[in-house]
Each structure stands twice: as C-alpha cells, then as structure tokens.
Structure 1
Amino acid sequence: MTENTTSTAPIGLLTGKVVFITGASRGIGAAAARLFASEGAAVVLAARSTDALDRIVTEIRADGGTADAVPLDLADRASIRAAVDHVERLHGRLDGAFNNGAVVQQQPGPLDTTSDKDIDEQFAVNFRSHWTAMTAEAALMRQSGGGAIVNTSSIGSRRANPALPAYGAMKRALNSITETAAVTWAPESIRVNGITPGGTATEMMEKWEAATPGIIEANNAATPLGRMAEPREIAEVAAWLLSDRASYVTGAIIPVDGGAGA
C-alpha cells in the first residue's frame, strides 16, 4: 500500500475570500479551516464544540491567518441562521461556504432495525441543516454578487447502504438539493457543488469501527488506492470548488473516494 506523502505549498487559491465552514471542530472541517486559511481565506468556523474551535482559531491566527469562531447546532435552524448572520456582522459578505457538519447513525444496522430517533437525527442534521444553511448563505452571497457553496455528502449516498440506511438516504437527498440549488441560483452567480468522500481517517470513522470492528479493513480492501483518505485530501477538493479556478463548475457531485465508487 502506498502512503499519502503529499505536502502542497499554498498558492493563494482563496485569497480575499470570506469562507464559512460548518463542522469545523474536527476531521474534514478542521482540515478545511487550516487549509482555506493558508490559501488566503478569512475563515469563520462553526460547530458545537467551541473549545476545539477556539484552539483552531488560535492556531490559524498564530500562523498569520484570519479566523473567527461561532457556536452552531446543526439540529437547530435558528442557530444556523444566527451563525450566518454572525459572518455578516464580522465581514459584511460571504464568498464561500463549506457545509461539512454531519453525524453518523448511533446504531449501525439493517433498515428494519433503524430507530425512529436515528432517522429523525439524520434528517435534522444531515439533510435539513444543509437546506437551511444553503438558503441563509445564498441570501448573504447575493448582496455581493454571488459565491460558491460546497456540501459534503458521502460515497454512501451513491449506492445501497445496508449498514447505515438512514445516513445514506439523507446524504442522497443532500445530493438532490445540491443539484437543485445549483440550477436555481446559477442566474445569481452562486455555484453549488457536492463532494462524496469515501473512507476518511476521522473520529466519525473511528466510532464506526468501534461499533462495527473490521470496517476500516474492509474499506481499504474495497478502495483501489488501498487506504483511507486523510482529511486534508478531501478539503483540497472543496478548496478548488470554492475557488475561482472552478468558475464553470456547478451542480457537480464529485467523488473523492480513492476509486472505491468506480
């Protein structure tokens, strides 16, 4: 197996842009916060874990970047709107948004044993929150002539997902509203795209492994590149989609899965 050893020097991909990131306290979101700031963005980080956010903000500022944090509960629509309002108070505009926050099913297992509680949480956090966030983000983007939104979906949205049926269903629904938003807001110069990561070395994956031992080994065996992604590798694709380099890309759902979905 070939390990990922890529280290990419910043090129100013997001210089001058204000970017809002949900789920920024860990995993892909935290990697995105560090990457986007290094690429020149002023980042506003949002999550429930404000202590973790504050540590990342301090780190980014120490490296010369611009970063702020705002508390966010993705299950609470008012909290999402308040977080976007906070971005407006800080910067007066929004150029990019990376809607990355998510939760995994509490109890993996077959469709007919999935609890109503799991279904309700998956709906609220992994689907409805993105709808609420996108509409609030787009409203702010319109004020300055447009912007770009990237939603984190999952490889589990692209095929049957017996182990995580509610998670897969909400992520597939997220793909649909991503495409619909792209078509709806294209005349306003708001691009909307999604990414579908495969297995990624995050705390969420560790929890799934603890609940279902062998998941990581099975993931690696099913992935042509033979390993999980590092969170930064996923964030790199989001950075490009948020940048002006992707100016003609909208309505795309891009696999970032090491070939697992091929």
Structure 2
Amino acid sequence: MSIPLEDLSVTHHNDVYSAIDPAIHFGQQTYKDKVVFVTGASRGIGQEIATFYAKAGATVILVARQSAALDEVREGILKLVPGAQLATLVADVTSVKEVQTAVDDAVRKFGKLDIVVANAGKAEPMDEHHSLTQEDPDDWWRTMEVNVRGVYNVAHFSLPYLDKTSGYFVIISSSAAQMRAPFASAYCISKHAVGRLNEFVKIEHPNVKSIALHPGGILTAMSARIPQVAAYLTDTLQLPAGTTLQLTSGRFDWLNGRYVSANWDLEELELVWKEKIIANEALVSRLAVPVEIP
C-alpha cells in the first residue's frame, strides 16, 4: 500500500458512531426493494448484518449450513421486524453446487440480487499445534477452502446478477489479512488472498462495487476459540453491521476494490484521506520495496 496503514490517521471506533448511525436507514427504510444475500448468517456478524438490512427494509436471504440455526435467526429477526421479508437457504459455501443452487433459488424467488455479503469464514486456535508442520494438512486446507473458495464460489455465481443491478459485493475480511501471526498461517493467508480477489472483482466487474471489510475485533463463537486474542476483541457486532449499511448506501463507492476497517471513522476517511487514497491507488495489496534495493 502506498499509504502505510499505521500512517492512516483516523479516529478508531468500537461501536456505532454518528457517521454509521443506522437510525436514518431504519427510519426511512432506505433498503426497501433491495435484495440482500448474506452467507454465514446463522450467528454473529452475519446475523447482525442481516438484521440491520431487514430493519432498513430489505428482503434478506439468510444462508448457512444448518437449517435449525437459520430458522432460529429468522424467528429472532421477525420478532424485531414483524413482517420482514426473509428467506433461509441451506448451503455450504465450499460446495459449488450448493452455492449455485442457493444463488439461483434466491434470484428465482425474488427476481434479483442487489447486495451480497460473503461472511462465512473459519479460523483455528493459535498455538503450536497449528503450526505449518504440526497442524493436520486437511484441517489447514479446510480453512483455506472456507475462506477463499467459499468467497470465490459466492462471487462466481452472484456477480452476474450484481452486474445487472450495479450492486455491491462485500467480503468480510480481517486485519489478519495484513499480519503474519504465528500459528495462524491458514487464516492470515486466506484473508490476504480474498483481499486480492476483491480487487479482481473491481477489474472484471466494473458495474459492481466490491469491498473487503475488516469487521473489527469481535468476540464471536469462532474467535472465542482463540484465547490469545480474546482480550482484544472489544468491538460490538453493531459496528460492522452499521458500517456495511453505509458502505452499500452509495456515498462510499469510491472505496470500491479496497480494504476497509470498520474501526475507521468513515467520515474522516472521506474528508481527510479520499483524494490521497485514490491518487495513490491505496488500500490494495502491493509489494513495498525499499528504495535502496536495486
């Protein structure tokens, strides 16, 4: 990145703040007539993002592997948003056929897709048993499959529909995409890889706005398996949900093809950094070579 992340000085947030306050979207039903497809929607971040879109008037398709968990989320949303337009589809994102069926069923039922949130993910505990040589190779690769192939599968089948609506493709990434954390190679590599995939979506599907979003440090069922980082996971589920609503509102389309953190104050990012980010083609994956190396 031409602008190092550590130099990107903006206010950091742990919860909903004024620039992403969802109240206006809820009150004005901003997303009425929009169809939103969310994977990994049976809990945590995916569940909260789906709930926010439902509150904002969208038709929401909840996608995950477990039917019972999806039904529970659906009932929970209906209690908060009586009359919400919801559908549940069972699919493992690593299965080409299941993802294709889910996407096609969603479009067959609702006629289109406007927003797709590729949220399903996987992480392993960070300990010596999960080093490159100690972890079971199949388990290591399974993390790669869920986090990379899972996102690719959803992109492959949904992008043609998003092209038609000039829609949004949001990849739930991680700050780990920019790190080299010991004993977390599969997770870090996979999140780094989908950041580059995000850039290819912009290049190959110019009608679609695609963003790789770090959701913040959130204690979810997945992250709870990593006690070394649990103390740092103090952000709320509402932070990425509110951020996602704003990123798909039209105002921040200039972030298309880039990595964004939900912790960053979006208004400051726009007012202070927008011109520099665009001019330097920043917030994308790039090899930084010291000038003294020939």
TM-score norm. by structure 2 comes to 0.76
Answering whether residue 236 of structure 2 is matched by residue 193 of structure 1, we say no
Q: Deviation string for 1:131-150 (max 9, x for gaps)?
A: 111121111223x3321100
What does residue 253 of structure 1 align with?
259
Cα distance in 1, alignment partners of residues 124 and 42 from structure 2: 19
Give how far 1:194 is off. 0.8
Aligned equivalents of 1:3, 1:105: Cα separation in 2:
24
* Aligned residues of 1:118 and 1:166 also touching (Cα < 8 A): no
The more displaced of 83-92 and 239-248 is 239-248
Bigger-Rg structure (1/2): 2
TM-aligned CA deviation for residue 23 of structure 1: 0.1
Give SS of 1:244's match.
coil
Change (3 A) 1:149 1:5: closer
Deviations 1:128-167 (A, max 9, x none): 111111121111223x332110001111111112131111
Give matches, 1:34-49, under 5 Å.
34-49=51-66
Letter in 2 for 1:132: N
Counterpart mapping for 1:153-192 below 5 A:
153-186=173-206, 189-192=207-210
CA drift at 1:257: 4.2
Deviations 1:34-53 (A, max 9, x none): 11110111000000121121
2:34 & 2:151 partners in 1: Cα distance?
21
Higher RCO (CA-CA < 8 Å; seq separation 6+): 2
**Misfit runs of 4+, over 4 Å:** 2-8
- Structure 2 matches for 1:94-173, cutoff 5 A? 94-105=113-124, 108=127, 109-142=130-163, 144-173=164-193
CA distance in 1, matches of 2:16, 2:54: 21
**Counterpart for residue 236 of structure 2:** 230
Deviation at 1:179, TM superposition (A): 0.9
How many Å separate the matches in 2 of 1:252 and 1:118?
A: 29
Identity of aligned residues (%): 24
Is the Cα contact below 8 Å between 2:126 and 2:183 reproduced in 1? no
Partner SS state of residue 222, structure 2: helix
Check if 1:215 corresponds to 2:234. Answer: no
Equivalent position SS for 1:195: strand
Q: How far apart are the structure 2 equivalents of 1:3 and 1:124?
A: 30
Q: Which runs of 5+ in 2 are unaligned?
A: 1-12, 266-294
Equivalent residue runs for 1:50-69 within 5 Å? 50-62=67-79, 63-64=81-82, 65-69=84-88
- Paired residue secondary structure (1:31): helix
User: C-alpha root-mean-square deviation of aligned residues, in Å?
Assistant: 2.2
Give the conservation status (yes or no) of the 8 Å contact 2:216–2:263: yes
Cα distance in 1 for partners of 2:92, 2:202 equals 25
Note the 1:83-98 alignment, pairs <5 A.
Answer: 83-98=102-117
- How many residues of Structure 1 are paired with residues of Structure 2 in the alignment? 243
Output the CA distance in 2 between the equivalents of 1:47 and 1:256: 23
- The answer to whether the Cα contact below 8 Å between 1:13 and 1:240 also exists between their aligned partners in 2 is no
Conserved in 1, the CA contact under 8 Å of 2:16 and 2:242?
no
Q: Could you give the per-residue CA deviations for residues 182-216 of structure 1, whole angstroms, max 9, x where no partner exists?
A: 12111xx211111023421211121222xxxx432
Residues 101/3 of structure 1: CA separation in 2 closer, same or farther (3 Å cut): closer
**Alpha-carbon distance in 2 for matches of 1:35, 1:102:** 20
**C-alpha displacement at 1:60, in angstroms?**
2.6
SS at match of 1:30: helix
Superposed CA deviations along residues 82-109 of structure 1, whole A, max 9, x for unmatched, are 1101111210100000000001126643
Separation in structure 2 between the aligned mates of residue 247 and residue 3 of structure 1, nearest angstrom: 23
Q: What amino acid maps onto 1:38 in structure 2? A: K
TM-score, normalised relative to structure 1: 0.85
Task: Work out the CA distance in 1 between the residues paired with 2:263 and 2:16.
Answer: 17
* Secondary structure of 2:226's aligned partner: helix
